[in-house]
Structure 1
């Protein structure tokens, strides 16, 4: 046989042997990678479901937080599984982890505002300064809460408008929750003339609220003289009612006070500017 043909034959045999060795070597790597991938996938799904069920049994913890934590755990474990699969093929996972860390840092800086909303949303769902259905107010936002999410909170304003607010605007700011506590106090300041009998005025006010079943008996309603101005005595009426009856009761009481004062002949002094306006209107009509 020609020497060149013999050399080619020998090289082909050598190459075939190397390919066979590589195939055997990577076959084990592929099988190992598939096993790691399948077992890791099933394990991450099991742990994610288990964590969501376990967190769902925690009293007072919102379901949104449980879902967010379980999904975060699942994807974090999947990332570890992928790194392990790449390690089966001899890939230097240390450099990959460093690269992923750099990419994560860059993404975190780019999405800084979004991450703030996520962190604020988690804190709002965990600490629960307000719940769905609560009427809240901050220095810039007010309305009834309709939905609390990881990124935003949805509210309905008093005039029926929809408002979606980033969670970062509802965290680290003072929040007034009008619905959190079961009872609220209403205070009405009324001006009466100096010639009026204060005891009669107080009796009329207390009798008025005593007839309203929505006004709580304890703490008991009270009246007192709050101030003495140049033209009138300021009498204050205080009573407590449930948070749900607060607005309707306050409007009815204001109306009934006006009617009761008229029936009892109790005068409400007119402010100087208002009196001049009334006189001017009367003169114009004449």
Structure 2
């Protein structure tokens, strides 16, 4: 009797051992295949250049996780686990899992919305969830930004999708605004001439819409002149910095002053 049980045990262990080895082999091959095929898909789609980079990486991730899921189910079948029963148990536990992972599921849902509706793309400068930076990557869970001083910011997709999205790079052109104050003793027409001369010498400024130079306010200490010019979005900061410097230098060269805030103080002496 003991010999029969021992033989049965040996036969069972041998059979299960073979199944386990085959299952491990399938798992290793499946994981390797998932990585290789996802990378090849990303490379192929990127080479064609028809899809946005965010969509390319999304399809790559989708293919990878699909292959991994199929591999895991195949391995479980190989070692004798009844996957139909397992799926039924997982389905019955779906509500509890959903409640426990509602934050994660929300990030995935938001990631899908961001990828397919594409309110912004990789390389664009945006402001989302109170943070601003250049979009580096959008995955199923997070959005990665880089600030102008190259600091990495990683935001949950649910925060990005649920709030306001300001995309500074969406349009091809942007308006650059300047506020220049001159003294009440200065000649306004002369100031206009100096400002227009600086604008005319800057080739990055667009002719249409035409630049605008107007008196916007008679302030306490200065006459404020608002200057508005249109540039290509990528030239925004370069024009902003360069013209700020040129306006100051040109005004100094033409005897126009930029007054400091002033207050008149009257001392009243009581008798």
Decide whether aligned partners of structure 1 residues 206 and 139 sit closer, same or farther in structure 2, where only a CA change above 3 A counts: farther
Matches within 5 A, 1:1-286: 59-60=51-52, 62-70=55-63, 97-272=87-262
Rg bigger for which structure? 1
Report the alpha carbon displacement of residue 272 of structure 1 after superposing the two structures with TM: 1.9
Q: Does the 8 A contact of 1:215 with 1:240 survive in 2?
A: yes
Spell out structure 1 runs of 4+ moving beyond 6 A.
75-85
Pairs aligned (count): 233
TM-score normalized by structure 1?
A: 0.67
Deviation at 1:247, TM superposition (A): 0.5
Unaligned runs of 5+ in 1: 1-44, 277-286
Shift in alpha-carbon separation, 1:139–1:125, aligned structure 2, 3 A: closer
Question: TM-score scaled to structure 2, two decimals?
Answer: 0.70
* Residue deviations 1:125-153 (CA, integer Å, cap 9, x gap): 11111222111113521111222211112
- Tell me the distance in 1 between the aligned counterparts of 2:75 and 2:248: 75
SS in 1 for 2:176: strand
What is the rounded CA distance, in whole Å, between the counterparts of 1:260 and 1:139 in structure 2? 41
Q: How far apart are the structure 2 equivalents of 1:191 and 1:266?
A: 10
| RMSD between aligned residues | 3.7
* Consecutive unaligned residues in structure 2, runs of 5 or more: 1-32, 266-271
Which one has the bigger helix percentage?
A: 1
Q: Distance in 1 between matches of 2:117 and 2:124?
A: 15
